[in-house]
Amino acid sequence: MRVSAKADYAVRAAAELAAADEGPVKGEKLADAQDIPLQFLEHILLELKHQGIVRARRGAKGGYWLARPADEVTIAEIVRAVEGPIAHVQSTPPEAIEYRGNSEHLQEVWIAVRASIRNVLENVTLADLVADELPDVVTDLAAVPDSWVAR
C-alpha cells in the first residue's frame, strides 16, 4: 500500500508538461524543475510515451509534450502506466480472488479500497493539479485535520 518513487516522479514530470505553454520541453528541464535524476526520468518518460501519455521528438528543439490536453489526463492513468494496476491483492485483481470460510467478505473490503483510491486518482486531472482546482473529493478529504496525522 505504498506509492513508488517512480509514480511520484512520473506525476510530477507530467505536471510540468501540463504547465508548459508551447512546444517540447527538454528532459533536463523537467529533471531540474522537480529534482529528479535525469537518466532515471528518461526511463520513466519512455514508459509514459509507450503508454501514449506523452509524445517526444529528438534533436535540437526536441523534448516531451503531453499527447492529450491536460484536462483529459488523470493521475490514475499515469500511476498505472508506471506501476501497473492499482490495488491488486497478491498480484491478482481483487474481483478474481476466491475467499472461503470466515474471510468470505474480505473481497468486498479490498474492492472498496480499490474503488476509494480510484475515486481520488481518476477524478484528478493534470489540469486540476497545476491550476490548484482539485475536485471536491480531494479537498474534502484534505480539509480534515486527521488526514494529515501520521499513524
The residues that touch DNA, with contacts defined as CB under 7 A, are: 4-6, 24-28, 37-40, 42-43, 45-46, 49-50, 56-64, 83, 90-91
For the segment 99-128, give every residue that binds its own copies (CB under 8 A): 99-106, 108-121, 124
> Based on CB atoms, which residue is closest to its own copies, 56 or 127?
127
> Based on CB atoms, which residue is closest to its own copies, 35 or 60?
35
Three cell numbers written together for 70: 491536460
- What's the closest the beta carbon of residue 2 comes to DNA, in angstroms? 8
> Based on CB atoms, which residue is closest to DNA, 59 or 145?
59
Cβ–Cβ < 8 Å for 65, 23: yes
For the segment 22-41, give every residue that binds its own copies (CB under 8 A): 33-35
Query: Dmax of the chain from CA atoms?
Result: 63
User: For residues 108 and 116, what is the distance between their CA atoms, to the nearest angstrom?
Assistant: 12
Binding site partner of 21, from its own copies, DNA, none, Cβ cut-off 5-8 A by kind: none
Q: Which of 48, 47, 52, 50 is nearest to 67 (CA)?
A: 52
Q: DSSP string of 91-106?
A: TB-GGG----GGGTTH
- What's the closest the beta carbon of residue 29 comes to DNA, in angstroms? 8
Three cell numbers written together for 45: 518518460
> Based on CB atoms, which residue is closest to DNA, 40 or 68?
40
User: For residues 8 and 18, what is the distance between their CA atoms, to the nearest angstrom?
Assistant: 15
- What's the closest the beta carbon of residue 113 comes to its own copies, in angstroms? 5
